[in-house]
Amino acid sequence: MITLVELKNGKKAIIQKIEGGPGLKNRLEVMNIREGKTIRKTCAAPLRGPVVLEIEGCKMAIGQGMAKKVWVEEI
Amino acid sequence: MGGRDLKKILLMGNPNVGKSVVFSRLTGVNVIQSNYPGTTVGYTKGQLKIGQNEMDIIDVPGTYSLSPSCKAEEVARDMFFNEKPDLIINVLDATNLERNLYLTLQILEHNIPTVIVLNMWDAAKRKGIHVNLEKLNKITGINVIPAVAVTGEGIKDLVNIVNETTIKKDKQLSKIPKMDDSEKWAFIGEILSGVQKIEHRHPSLLEKLEDASVRPLSGIIIAIIVIFITMQVVIGFGELLINYILDPLYYQYYGPFITSVVENFIPTGFIHDILIGSGYEYETSFGLLTTGIYVIFAVVLPYILSFYLVLGFLEDFGYLPRLAVLLDSIMHKLGLHGYATIPIVLGFGCNVPAMLSTRILEGKREKFIAATLIAISVPCMAQTAVIIGLLGKYGIQYIFMVYGTLLLLFIIMGSILNFLLKGESPEIFFEIPPYRIPHMGTLLKKTWMRVRGFLIEALPFVFLGILAINILYLVGIMSALSNLLAPIMSQMLGLPNQAIDALIMGFLRKDLATAMLAPLNLSPTQLVVACTVLASSFPCIATFIVLIKELGIKDMLKTVVLMLFIAIITGTILNLILN
């Protein structure tokens, strides 16, 4: 398992685990970022900026700190 | 049923699904609509009347759930629980049903009659997404209406169903039971597997461009191109309007006309002077009907118009959130996060809506930093028009000096505030909307609304300001005031006494200051100092009032003290360097 930050640009992966408190988990979940979902990482913005990912055709920007708490398995 | 009982309807849904567009279609009330989450931060009310059936419709800010994570979402939750609506119109983005349905399930739990609108039905079709409406209707037990709100498709059906549902006595409620979160997602999965089919399509050119605009290298190149084109178009189109339309209109037709009218009725005296001042030939005549009209319509309005056209295009296209992603890291070093880009960009048009839109930021600290930085170092279009008007003829390098100083101020102040104020700006986390080709009608309507907003806001203050200047000069207060402040100011800033008047007056409205500075024959470098001081103090009294509302008196006072301090220090330093 690797985190969203480590996942290479353009690769697809399945979310395995989200670390962190219920607050963070809930915030991610209502945006459809939750365990079992397939995602594609588009890229990371410059200077260790946010990770841009795509779930079900919907693009989202998520800060590095949060992205580090999302563990995925590349497919 | 007894005649007049006003029904209450809430328009709810995820951010950026087009609630405001549906709202305008239903009520005829125009609200600003854009292609990014967080356009609506407050709420707007409008009416829909069908026969005897009168309804209040409220456009609620978008939310992903009923448990809020920012101010705009809190507004949504509070309205849902406190307003006791008769009907919820739940607007969904048909291209992204899975996430949208989560909020729907939360809404349906509370036994309030609900209608589902599947907006962006055309985009879904283009993307190869097929939704079986009958099945969705059967499973949820409520009406489902496909719609393309920007073109008006489906709105008629919606109106009919809203009318029927609010008149009916036996409320049609969904029979979906209460579920916990994981059950909700499982249920949504079940719904979708039966209802939705997705064909695979190759990414379109727009979709490729979407990705290119957030990738580090291509993203920065695109950003530079976008900003360059924006500046070119705003300034070019503004100048075109002034040189070929507004100046000729004013000098050849309006000026002579209004002068002869006034002189016919009031040949001399105080009223004559207040109305047309020293004559229309001088843009600094200080007459209400001469300088007042000229400053608003021929100095500021052209740039406001061209800026809002370009901004509206960028907003509706969906570019701004991508700029926010690119700038996120830099913004964090200034105590903000990427999404603060949006209020900042809005601030170049007018600081008032910019202050309001700081509500999309999560923390109080971040809001304070954003509002302060915008008030001090983001010049609104009126300020920009002043700067171009005064310095343009001396060459672009002087304009760059002013903007360079402001940019430097922005960075230095942001870093200092970030260092001084405890806490950390929360991480960025938002949805990036797809690129959409702007709808011309909507774009023009939005531009018109903003231009009208500017006129409504600016006209009374400019008139009031000119009146005040005339009276203050007449009574002698102005000279007393400038005598009091002049020694310090003119020595520190290197400006003649009369320029101080302009700076003081600038507090009311910056655009007036152009007219006050122009006749003083200042050197270009003196003008750079004056413009920078003007630009780094508040744009106008309206911004000041909004700041009180958004930050509270205490924080607003902090901002004001900071602003005065910074404006004077910056002016002094510039004066030392340049003169």
Domain boundaries, chain A: 2-74
The residue out of B169, B198, B227 marking a domain boundary is B198
Residues of B within 8 A of A26 (CB-CB) are 65, 67, 181
Across the range A21-50, mean pLDDT stands at 89
B221 belongs to a structural domain: yes
The residue out of B198, B224, B244 marking a domain boundary is B198
Q: In chain B, which residues have pLDDT < 70?
A: 1-4, 170-172, 282-285, 539
Q: Cβ distance B22 to B89 under 8 Å? A: yes
**Cβ <8 Å between A45 and B431:** no
* Closest chain B residue to the Cα of A49, Cα to Cα: B329
CA atoms of B268 and B262, how far apart (whole Å): 9
Strand (E) or helix (H) holding B185? helix B181-195
B190 and B222 within one domain: no
> What counts of helices (H) and strands (E) characterise chain B?
27, 9
Strands B196-198 and B87-93: unpaired
Task: Give CA separation, B336 vs A59, B41, B375, B433, B558, in Å.
Answer: 22, 19, 15, 21, 18
Alpha carbon of B38: minimum distance to chain A alpha carbons (Å) = 14
Q: Cβ distance B409 to B294 under 8 Å? A: no
DSSP B226-278: HHHHHHHHHHHHHHHHIIIIIHHIIIIIIHHHHHHHHHHH--SSHHHHHHHTT
Q: Tokens representing B245? A: 């339309």
Strands B53-59 and B44-50: antiparallel
Dihedral of alpha carbons B515, B519, B520, B523, sign: positive
Residue-wise pLDDT for B455-476, tens only, equals 887 788 778 877 877 787 777 7
Q: Tokens representing B132? A: 């079986």
Q: Tokens representing A58? A: 């919907």
Q: Cβ distance B574 to B409 under 8 Å? A: no
- B312 Cβ contact partners less than 8 Å away, ≥ 6 residues apart: B34, B438, B443, B446, B447, B450
Residue-wise pLDDT for B333-349, tens only, equals 999 988 899 999 999 99
CA atoms of B85 and B562, how far apart (whole Å): 45
pLDDT at residue number B171: 67
- For B369-482, strand residue ranges (E) read 429-432
**Cβ <8 Å between B214 and A32:** no
Which CATH number characterizes residue B147's domain? 3.40.50.300
Alpha carbon of A1: minimum distance to chain B alpha carbons (Å) = 23
Distance of CA B481 to the CA centre of its chain: 35
* Closest chain A residue to the Cα of B14, Cα to Cα: A31
CA atoms of B7 and B565, how far apart (whole Å): 52
Q: Tokens representing B426? A: 């929360």
Q: Tokens representing B572? A: 């002094």
Predicted confidence (pLDDT) at residue A24 exceeds the cutoff of 90: no
Substitution target from B66, B213, B432, B436 for chain A, most A beta carbons within 10 A: B432
CA atoms of B29 and B577, how far apart (whole Å): 52
Identify which of B501, B488, B452, B512 has the alpha carbon closest to the alpha carbon of residue B571.
B488
- pTM score, whole prediction: 0.88
Strand (E) or helix (H) holding B89? strand B87-93
**Cβ <8 Å between B431 and A60:** yes
Comparing CB atoms, the residue among B326, B330, B427 nearest residue A66 is B427
pLDDT at residue number B293: 86
**Cβ <8 Å between B328 and A49:** yes
B205 belongs to a structural domain: no
Structural domain span for residue B74: 7-198
* Closest chain B residue to the Cα of A30, Cα to Cα: B64
Residues of A within 8 A of B102 (CB-CB) are 30, 32
CA atoms of B401 and B378, how far apart (whole Å): 14
**Cβ <8 Å between A60 and B330:** no
pLDDT at residue number B1: 42
pLDDT at residue number B348: 93
B510 belongs to a structural domain: yes
Q: Cβ distance A37 to A15 under 8 Å? A: yes
Substitution target from A54, A58, A62, A70 for chain B, most B beta carbons within 10 A: A58
CA atoms of B281 and B111, how far apart (whole Å): 68
Across the range A28-41, mean pLDDT stands at 92
Identify which of B124, B260, B88, B92 has the alpha carbon closest to the alpha carbon of residue B188.
B92
pLDDT at residue number A38: 93
Q: Tokens representing B209? A: 């461009």
Substitution target from B201, B220, B328, B331 for chain A, most A beta carbons within 10 A: B328
Using a CB–CB cutoff of 8 Å, tell me whether A26 touches chain B.
yes
CA atoms of A39 and B405, how far apart (whole Å): 43
Q: Cβ distance B527 to B398 under 8 Å? A: yes
Q: Cβ distance B350 to B454 under 8 Å? A: yes
Q: Is B286 helix (H, G, I), strand (E, B) or coil?
A: coil
CA atoms of B28 and B459, how far apart (whole Å): 26
Q: Cβ distance B99 to A56 under 8 Å? A: yes
Write the secondary structure of B39-72 as one string of H (helix), E (strand) and C (coil).
Answer: CCCCCEEEEEEECCEEEEEEECCCCCCCCCCCHH
Label residue A11 left, alpha or beta by phi (over 0 means left) and psi (-120 to 50 means alpha): beta
B544 and B503 within one domain: yes
* Closest chain B residue to the Cα of A62, Cα to Cα: B429
B222 and B187 within one domain: no
B362 and B496 within one domain: yes
Residue-wise pLDDT for B244-253, tens only, equals 999 999 999 9
How many structural domains compose chain B? 2
pLDDT at residue number B218: 94
Identify which of A65, A62, A64, A63 has the alpha carbon closest to the alpha carbon of residue A39.
A62
State the complex-level ipTM. 0.94
Across the A:B interface, residue pairs with CB atoms under 8 Å apart total 102
Identify which of A57, A56, A46, A58 has the alpha carbon closest to the alpha carbon of residue A9.
A46
Block residue for tokens 């006050």: B516
pLDDT at residue number B3: 46
The residue out of B149, B168, B198 marking a domain boundary is B198
DSSP B351-402: HHHHHHHGGGS--HHHHHHHHHHHHHH---HHHHHHHHHHHGGG-HHHHHHH
B250 and B122 within one domain: no
CA atoms of B569 and B488, how far apart (whole Å): 12
B440 and B481 within one domain: yes
Alpha carbon of B316: minimum distance to chain A alpha carbons (Å) = 17
Say which CATH architecture domain A2-74 belongs to.
Roll (2.30)
Predicted confidence (pLDDT) at residue A45 exceeds the cutoff of 90: no
B263 and B154 within one domain: no
**Cβ <8 Å between A61 and B432:** yes
Q: Is B579 helix (H, G, I), strand (E, B) or coil?
A: coil
Q: Which residues pair with B13 in a beta bridge?
A: B91
pLDDT at residue number B2: 42
B508 and B421 within one domain: yes
pLDDT at residue number B334: 92
B193 and B222 within one domain: no
